[in-house]
Amino acid sequence: MAETNGTTNGAVLDIPQTYVGTRTVRPDGVDKVTGRARFAADFNLPGQLVGRVLRSPHPHARIISIDTSKAQALPGVKAVITRDDFADQASELIPAGEMMMNYRDVVRNVMAREKVLYEGHAVAAVAATSVAVAKKALKLIDVKYEVLPHVIDVVEAMNPSAPVLHPDLFTAGVEPKPDKASNVAKRIEIAIGDIEAGFGKADVIVEREFNTAPVHQGYIEPHAALATVSEDGTAEVWVTTQGHFIVRAHCARLLGMDISKIRVTASEIGGGFGGKTVVYLEPLAVALSRKAKRPVKMVMSREEVFKASGPTSGANIRVKLGASKDGKFVAGYAELRYQAGAFPGSPVQPGVFCAFAPYDMENVKVVGYDVVSNRPKVAAYRAPGAPISEFAVESVVDEIAKKLDIDPVELRLQNAAREGTKAAYGPKFGPIGLTETLHAVEKTNHYTTPLQPWQGRGVASGFWFNIGGETCASLTVNEDGTVSLVAGTPDIGGLRASLAAVAADELGVPYEKVRPIIGDTGSIGFNFLTGGSRSCFSGAMAIVEAAKEIKADLCRRAAKLWDCKPEDVEFSHGAVRAKGAAAGKHTPMTVADCAKVAGKTGGPIGGTGRINAQGAGPSFGTHLVDVEVDPETGRVTILRYTVAQDAGRAIHPSYVEGQFQGGAVQGIGWALNEEYIYGKDGKLQNAGFLDYRMPVASDLPMIDAILVEVPNPRHPYGVRGVGETPIVPPMAAIANAIEQATGVRFTELPMSPPKVLKALRERGLNTREALRSGNGKNGHGKNGH
């Protein structure tokens, strides 16, 4: 068994790379375009029941009582569950996407206990023989509430007079420990240098306050789970998730089951983006099935997805940046206030770390606050926390560029983090590619194309750490020389194609002969979830280890067949070859040749990589966007968009470009339209795609993707994670472009038509005279800046 402690310090491998770096046909493509691919809601079992959830109509209320007797008596109802079906959990922190989450909170989030903390909070669930019976049963459940005052906005939630969600929540990270509970779960701070001295040296200082709206990950496939629990207590679950091993662990913990008794299969996934790193329906489906002794299938409606699954934080940010007259950033300060939703655990920590990460600065201080409010508990969303803080900082960087009359790309280049730069959060960066991405956009035709009135061009950079983590993957050489590849992290962005290419190159077999699948939790060792831009990075490392095991085994077998010393055999260029004293005496054996005699040389051939992958390389990106503002409606149209990002090495360029494009598009939605809109009653008013406006293909130009490849020296193929960084720069890039088009600096997201129109009106920019003269600000001068 190949095992490492994750310390493999791999250089880029010296093996023929026939498939790595090429645009191989995706192995899941045919099933997806023909409709055969099975998403979670496509799974069915004989005798299955329909599961439905009763959700709170109140944003904040104490639960006085829950009477399920009438529902239980309804013909066709086979099980009803409430808080009483889940044992309370002790306080214990666990990784949950980008942050730590507390099991005490998880059990309260999947099923409310003492209080409901947001509209849509689960209060009870039923399993019934039909949808109609299930819906009727929900109406028969009598919940008595004591309605409490609520608070949604993050700044209001921090007010000492705000309704307190958790009477036992005392702000951590402040001295002395507060004696009064509040909604501020945590204060965090990082600091390097001396910001007062730094600002004292500044020739120009820009300070601004920003606000961002809560936005949802917006995956097309709703949460869904099918669970069946046998009379012997073993369970099987089919679910859409970014981490089926995590689903298994959470279900086992929340329901008091052995992990070995739960087998979870990850379906094809219709988007996750971080939002499917936690559990909602899964423990309910298992609990209902255990009680009903029949399979139970649960599928969220779109309204439930919006109201009860994790969006990311809305936030309030204050940023101050100082620079010398020649453009050197001398000090930066930021205060970040992030909504966590109903329970502590917003992504403010990475927001704090990332805020000034793209820049080489001596004096930085960032303070963050994790704040609970009566909204769904936030879940990870691509580079969680970073888009918010970097939106604010990158907007201010643009203002500094304008004040100093320095090209915004040149200003960023002047201050950019490079290898050896000490990040504001501590460590020095290794080889990174920020400057390469800046140079890449600078060289584009896009950057120099003239702009028209009411058009503007914006640029912004972004950073994300990336991670590795526990990963297991296996390769089995079949009797005919084909290869079965089993990975354990759900494929949300091209994992199967990427790992198959690595396996094909490692073993010297045709790509088409490698069949990759995502194994269930019973068929492969533990894998941390797909998140943190880790699955291709870590999975490729595990495949390399698995292939090493196979190649070593084949060499041992060949040495015995050839009656030569093991050191006289090597695996190179896709075959076992004799060398040294045995050189030229034996015909090389390919993997297929070895497979033919596997039974006679020791049995099945296979290898497994089991690693805790370390050595993730950060990824930086720079985005360039042209917009046009309609002064009569306030609508902002994206005219042209270019993404340049350091991928380290693009195993599958099309998928990497797809990540760049997808991240940019989600960022465009975040910038221009998406927001959770609450009424004064604390209820979400736009829980559907008609009113929660996400970009669609017809809203957008083709997103140009530029692959920058600065290899990660800690990965055998040089890979860096790529999935998260591309959502970081769009909001600032677009705000900077709109500023250039209109002269108005927008500090609040989304920059939706009503807000843009209002701002133009307030400044008299959309008067008839202004419109007639084309008197919007526009791209003038070099590069439109």
Partner 1 sequence: MARVVLVGNLAQLTGGVAELDLPATSVKHLFALLRERYPDIGPHLEEGIAVAIDGQIYQDSLLEPIEPASEVFLLPQIAGG
Interface with partner 1 by CB under 8 A: which residues? 5-7, 93, 95, 97-100, 172-173, 175, 186-190, 217, 273-275, 277, 349-350, 352-353, 379-384, 425-430, 464-470, 531-534, 612, 614-616, 714, 721, 724
**Residue 67 and residue 145 in contact, taking contact as beta carbons nearer than 8 Å:** no
**Closest by CA position to 312, among listed 343, 278, 275, 287:** 275
Segment (H or E) for 196? helix 195-200
CB of 458 to partner 1, least distance (A): 24
Cα(750)–Cα(773) distance, integer angstroms? 28
User: Among residues 441 and 722, whose Cβ is nearest to partner 1?
Assistant: 722
Cα(616)–Cα(720) distance, integer angstroms? 6
User: Among residues 526 and 562, whose Cβ is nearest to partner 1?
Assistant: 526
**Closest by CA position to 296, among listed 234, 243, 227, 238:** 227
CB of 534 to partner 1, least distance (A): 7
CB of 243 to partner 1, least distance (A): 11
CB of 614 to partner 1, least distance (A): 5
User: Among residues 532 and 695, whose Cβ is nearest to partner 1?
Assistant: 532
User: Among residues 118 and 425, whose Cβ is nearest to partner 1?
Assistant: 425
CB of 3 to partner 1, least distance (A): 12
Cα(489)–Cα(241) distance, integer angstroms? 10
Cα(230)–Cα(295) distance, integer angstroms? 9
What are the backbone angles phi and psi of residue 82, rounded to the nearest 5°? Answer: -140, -165
User: Among residues 307 and 714, whose Cβ is nearest to partner 1?
Assistant: 714
CB of 211 to partner 1, least distance (A): 22
CB of 13 to partner 1, least distance (A): 20
**What are the angstrom distances between the C-alpha of 120 and each of 22, 60, 96, 684?**
46, 10, 21, 9
User: Among residues 94 and 677, whose Cβ is nearest to partner 1?
Assistant: 94
| Residue 493 structure tokens | 């962005």
Question: Nearest-5° angle of CA 671, CA 677, CA 680?
Answer: 145
Work out the number of other CB atoms within 10 angstroms of the CB of residue 26. 17
CB of 172 to partner 1, least distance (A): 8
Report the greatest alpha carbon distance in the chain. Answer: 93
CB of 493 to partner 1, least distance (A): 12
CB of 620 to partner 1, least distance (A): 15
**Closest by CA position to 525, among listed 504, 548, 542:** 542
User: Among residues 225 and 352, whose Cβ is nearest to partner 1?
Assistant: 352
User: Among residues 590 and 612, whose Cβ is nearest to partner 1?
Assistant: 612
Work out the number of other CB atoms within 10 angstroms of the CB of residue 591. 24
User: Among residues 532 and 631, whose Cβ is nearest to partner 1?
Assistant: 532
CB of 274 to partner 1, least distance (A): 2
**Closest by CA position to 282, among listed 243, 318, 312:** 243
**Residue 126 and residue 66 in contact, taking contact as beta carbons nearer than 8 Å:** no
User: Among residues 11 and 132, whose Cβ is nearest to partner 1?
Assistant: 11
**Residue 492 and residue 722 in contact, taking contact as beta carbons nearer than 8 Å:** no
DSSP 727: G
User: Among residues 108 and 186, whose Cβ is nearest to partner 1?
Assistant: 186
**Residue 592 and residue 605 in contact, taking contact as beta carbons nearer than 8 Å:** no
Cα(131)–Cα(238) distance, integer angstroms? 20
User: Among residues 353 and 655, whose Cβ is nearest to partner 1?
Assistant: 353
By CB atoms closer than 10 A (0-12, 13-18, 19+), residue 702 is: exposed
Whether residue 750 is preceded by a cis peptide bond, meaning omega within 30 degrees of 0, is yes
**Closest by CA position to 216, among listed 147, 299, 300, 297:** 300
CB of 348 to partner 1, least distance (A): 11
CB of 612 to partner 1, least distance (A): 6
CB of 390 to partner 1, least distance (A): 14
User: Among residues 494 and 784, whose Cβ is nearest to partner 1?
Assistant: 494
| Residue 80 structure tokens | 């009803």
Cα(80)–Cα(138) distance, integer angstroms? 9
User: Among residues 354 and 706, whose Cβ is nearest to partner 1?
Assistant: 354
Q: If you write DSSP's letter for every residue of 235-254 in order, what string do you get?
A: EEEEE--S-HHHHHHHHHHH
CB of 638 to partner 1, least distance (A): 23
User: Among residues 527 and 783, whose Cβ is nearest to partner 1?
Assistant: 527
User: Among residues 58 and 276, whose Cβ is nearest to partner 1?
Assistant: 276
User: Among residues 295 and 350, whose Cβ is nearest to partner 1?
Assistant: 350
Angle between helices 244-255 and 282-292 (to 10 degrees): 50
**Residue 724 and residue 19 in contact, taking contact as beta carbons nearer than 8 Å:** no
CB of 713 to partner 1, least distance (A): 10
CB of 380 to partner 1, least distance (A): 4
CA dihedral 171, 177, 182, 187 (to 10 degrees): -30
Q: Which residues pair with 206 in a beta bridge?
A: 321
User: Among residues 25 and 93, whose Cβ is nearest to partner 1?
Assistant: 93
Long-range contacts of 419-424 (CB under 8 A, 24+ apart): 421/360, 422/192, 422/360, 423/353, 423/357, 424/190, 424/192, 424/332, 424/353, 424/355, 424/356, 424/357, 424/361, 424/364, 424/366
Cα(237)–Cα(225) distance, integer angstroms? 7
Cα(279)–Cα(273) distance, integer angstroms? 14
